[in-house]
Structure 1
Amino acid sequence: MNAASQTSATVQSHTMEPLRWLRVEEAARTRGISRSLLYEFLRDGKIKSSLLRKKGNVRGIRLISAESLDAYIESHVLPWHPPTSEMASVTKSPDG
């Protein structure tokens, strides 16, 4: 895969906007999660997807909504809290 095709895999080259729909492998890879976790989110209705297939076919192409996946990930962001003085004294080395 050359550099031009790698860019078009994640960004629409003519508009430079992020893709709205991702294949399962790309969604998992670009968000740093496993395919099995992605399918778990789908099964539990936590993210949106679309299955494109021809009439009568069992198999098709599953596309993941990048917006719904990102929103779900964002909803689980935890705020960072600096260590308290109590915690800092526990983590100090005996020499420090």
Structure 2
Amino acid sequence: MSVHDELTRIQRLLDDLSRSVSRLEQQAGSGGLEVRRVRTDAGHLRESVALLREAVASPEAPKRPDLVTISDAPYDLSLWTDSDDEGLGARDRRAP
């Protein structure tokens, strides 16, 4: 079977599960924590299958950003004359 066929089959099974949970809610009541958890888990499965269907529909891998080469040459020290040493304060003052 193809991936599309498998996803369609899973969707049908999830529809059956949803109908079964609805019948169970009618018989057991929808106020119990257990029934709400089953309903929530079935909803999560439905969302996961939808995400999987989207991923299969667009198989393009995320494009990796272009790499930027950083030179090993030292920076011009005049760029840093107006900045403080990180975490140490200004050069002409003492730390408290």
**TM-score, scaled relative to structure 1:** 0.24
Q: Which structure's CA Rg is the greater one?
A: 2
The structure with the greater share of residues assigned to helix is 2
The structure with the greater share of residues assigned to strand is 1
